[in-house]
Chains A and B, each alone.
Chain A
């Protein structure tokens, strides 16, 4: 294949590669387990990129050490997409999604865990690289994505990504005269990243342990709230309020609360009426606030972290004067 032929073919197939990259990216995002918000989970917005024509020609014809017989088909990163996550355990989630997709064939081209096992003494660039190919033709707006079209997927942690950004275009390119000191410093960086990764994991485990009970309680609270209205939870606010009032509602179990709400229909009515107007009314924790306003209102006022004006509508809806006399 001549340069001209390659150019012509690639220009004509660019829209197809773009479409394939989009499909691969979206199908990973859409298969995240329930409860994981992709905007938070992915630390960099995943966006597929089609290789530039010049870069393809350079790789096919001018890159030392790459003696392709059929460069167009052997080069598998004509389109690529990248998922950058926070923790190594997050990488496992993405790997699972990729491996369990029946619409494509998967080959794992690079896996840092395997490399660590194989070369325990070497600290080198770490990333997971897959190439996935669609098993069947897929129609898209400009035609058909032919079966077997490759797309490269990279999966990395933020730390690995930082390292890759720092070095990838320089020290791993052949014939680039790298001073020994740079190799040494890079290896030290990777070692540090691996250590930091492990510390991150421990921090995460410690936090999870601490919040496990809270999370269980708050999830049950959310379910209880759903029996009245769909919750529109702002997690940070919901948790902050819960954390502020927990000392005065420790003994209230979800079952107690459910019973209390059944016995006091004004609580559900208040939520239905205030739902559209107040953000606070859309938080599951409002159930506890309404209970406390009825049963422990003085303590509630003393621990309430915002202004009285924010709390007053709850009191008014329950028919209670929100303000002290003195």
Chain B
């Protein structure tokens, strides 16, 4: 998402405890938080590092849009007076606490903030951050001391925070704050480390589904296919040797088929497999073809048949590639007396080299 010139204008902070840790579930702040410039910059940095270009953030669609939905409440905070802003944020904190109904979900602080991006587009965002251990460095004269801190927050460790942002698409139209807002007027984007891994996907539901009332975009099948096709085109037209093209193509299949990550993104793939000088042109190629700069939820159902290649590598750098499903039929490994060799029988005749 284009988050250029991100500004933060109003902030409310509350705390949520882990389920069962205390008798209370949350602790509510009774005033708007006024943060100094450095603190605001840290929040700004964390938001762009999680939701900006080159991130694993994904777009969401708004499912619940009725009067009592989190979406309507958040949207009304964009135009609310500060005391109303605070009251709604308390209400939503209680709502989130009620959805955190098992002790596997950690506690933390919840930060509501609003402001603008691209100078004119208003947004409302909600961020949940978990505490981390760490040290504070203090120096006095020649002495260096470390002071233990049990509740360090919002370091660059991305596993420890999640953030969602609702950005108004339209910047000119007057908004009638008495009416319910139309979900189509908003872009919704989220970063949650749990969403990006198959193993932890379920742990993300309470936040983006139960609390925010959103769901993954239905267009991800098509976008996953576009990702595959465009990246394949890029590899084929790149100014590199054929062998490397084969390697990259295999990497693409692995990335889509084998990886346990549930999201894919241009920058993630580029970072993993391409040398720096290729990354910029890959990134531009994808951008020119209108592929999003954020991450996409992976759904390979439209390209499964393309991903059916299997590769075999030998310690002498010999490689054999064949269609994944017919591999055992096409490539047959036979017994061999010489321990330094492998005997392979391949179905077919040499066509090109």
Q: Is B3 an interface residue (CB 8 A)?
A: yes
Known contacts: A295-B284, A299-B277, A325-B268. The answer to whether A320 contacts B5 by CB under 8 A is no
| 15 A-B pairs in the complex with CB atoms less than 8 angstroms apart | A266-B119, A270-B4, A297-B280, A299-B277, A315-B52, A319-B2, A319-B5, A319-B6, A319-B52, A320-B52, A320-B53, A321-B50, A321-B53, A322-B49, A325-B272
List residues of A whose CB falls within 8 A of some B CB: 265-266, 269-270, 273, 295-299, 301-302, 312, 315-326
Cα–Cα distance between A153 and B4 once the two chains are bound (Å): 58
Q: B5–A317 contact, CB under 8 A?
A: yes
Q: B270 — which chain A residues lie within 8 A by C-beta?
A: 298
Q: A326–B272 contact, CB under 8 A?
A: yes
Known contacts: A298-B280, A325-B267. The answer to whether A269 contacts B48 by CB under 8 A is no
Q: B276–A320 contact, CB under 8 A?
A: no
Q: A323–B49 contact, CB under 8 A?
A: yes
Q: A323–B156 contact, CB under 8 A?
A: yes
Within B1-44, which residues are at the interface with A (CB < 8 Å)? 1-6, 44
Closest B residue, CB atoms, query A319:
B3
Q: B49 — which chain A residues lie within 8 A by C-beta?
A: 316, 321-323
Cα–Cα distance between A221 and B156 once the two chains are bound (Å): 35
Q: A298–B279 contact, CB under 8 A?
A: yes
Q: Is B260 an interface residue (CB 8 A)?
A: no
Q: Is B45 an interface residue (CB 8 A)?
A: yes
A315-B52, A319-B2 given; 15 more Cβ-contact pairs under 8 Å:
A266-B4, A269-B5, A297-B283, A298-B279, A299-B280, A316-B44, A316-B49, A319-B1, A319-B4, A319-B52, A319-B53, A321-B49, A321-B55, A325-B272, A326-B271
Q: Is B168 an interface residue (CB 8 A)?
A: no
Q: Is B192 an interface residue (CB 8 A)?
A: no
Q: A296–B48 contact, CB under 8 A?
A: no
Q: A312 — which chain B residues lie within 8 A by C-beta?
A: 45
Known contacts: A316-B45, A316-B48, A320-B48. The answer to whether A273 contacts B280 by CB under 8 A is no
Count how many pairs of residues, one from A and one from B, have CB atoms less than 8 Å apart in the complex: 75
Closest A residue, CB atoms, query B7:
A273
Cα–Cα distance between A298 and B282 once the two chains are bound (Å): 11
Q: Is B118 an interface residue (CB 8 A)?
A: yes
For the complex of A and B, list the 9 residue pairs with the smallest distance between their C-beta atoms, beginning with the closest.
Answer: A319-B3, A266-B4, A298-B279, A319-B4, A319-B52, A298-B276, A320-B53, A321-B54, A296-B280
Q: B331 — which chain A residues lie within 8 A by C-beta?
A: none
Please give the distance in Å from B279's CB to the nearest CB on chain A.
4
Please give the distance in Å from A224's CB to the nearest CB on chain B.
20
Most chain B Cβ neighbours within 10 Å, of A270, A318, A319: A319
Please give the distance in Å from B78's CB to the nearest CB on chain A.
19
Closest B residue, CB atoms, query A277:
B37
Q: Is B97 an interface residue (CB 8 A)?
A: no
Q: Is B117 an interface residue (CB 8 A)?
A: yes
Cα–Cα distance between A260 and B2 once the two chains are bound (Å): 17
Q: B280–A319 contact, CB under 8 A?
A: no
Q: B6 — which chain A residues lie within 8 A by C-beta?
A: 316-317, 319
Q: A266–B48 contact, CB under 8 A?
A: no
Q: A321 — which chain B residues lie within 8 A by C-beta?
A: 48-50, 52-55, 267
Please give the distance in Å from A323's CB to the nearest CB on chain B.
6
Q: B277 — which chain A residues lie within 8 A by C-beta?
A: 298-299
Cα–Cα distance between A77 and B338 once the two chains are bound (Å): 103
Cα–Cα distance between A325 and B271 once the two chains are bound (Å): 7
Within B266-324, which residues are at the interface with A (CB < 8 Å)? 267-268, 270-272, 276-277, 279-280, 283-284
Q: B280 — which chain A residues lie within 8 A by C-beta?
A: 295-299
Closest B residue, CB atoms, query A326:
B271
Q: B271–A324 contact, CB under 8 A?
A: yes
Q: B52–A266 contact, CB under 8 A?
A: no
Closest B residue, CB atoms, query A302:
B276
Q: A270 — which chain B residues lie within 8 A by C-beta?
A: 4-5
Q: B268 — which chain A residues lie within 8 A by C-beta?
A: 325
Cα–Cα distance between A318 and B283 once the two chains are bound (Å): 16
Encode contact with A along B227-270: 1 for CB under 8 Å, 0 otherwise.
00000000000000000000000000000000000000001101
Q: B272–A315 contact, CB under 8 A?
A: no
Most chain A Cβ neighbours within 10 Å, of B45, B50, B272: B45
Known contacts: A320-B53, A321-B48. The answer to whether A273 contacts B279 by CB under 8 A is no
Please give the distance in Å from A293's CB to the nearest CB on chain B.
10
Closest B residue, CB atoms, query A297:
B280
Closest B residue, CB atoms, query A269:
B5
Q: B117 — which chain A residues lie within 8 A by C-beta?
A: 319
Please give the distance in Å from B271's CB to the nearest CB on chain A.
5
Q: B267 — which chain A residues lie within 8 A by C-beta?
A: 321, 325
Please give the distance in Å from A2's CB to the nearest CB on chain B.
68
Q: A318 — which chain B residues lie within 8 A by C-beta?
A: 4, 53
Q: A324 — which chain B residues lie within 8 A by C-beta?
A: 271
Cα–Cα distance between A312 and B42 once the two chains are bound (Å): 12
Known contacts: A296-B280, A298-B276, A301-B276. The answer to whether A320 contacts B54 by CB under 8 A is yes
Q: A273 — which chain B residues lie within 8 A by C-beta?
A: 5
Please give the distance in Å from B60's CB to the nearest CB on chain A.
18
Most chain B Cβ neighbours within 10 Å, of A273, A296, A301: A296
Q: B272 — which chain A residues lie within 8 A by C-beta?
A: 325-326
Cα–Cα distance between A325 and B114 once the two chains are bound (Å): 27
Q: B118 — which chain A residues lie within 8 A by C-beta?
A: 266
Cα–Cα distance between A301 and B276 once the two chains are bound (Å): 9
Closest B residue, CB atoms, query A323:
B49
Cα–Cα distance between A302 and B311 once the two chains are bound (Å): 32
Cα–Cα distance between A320 and B294 once the two chains are bound (Å): 10
Q: A296 — which chain B residues lie within 8 A by C-beta?
A: 280
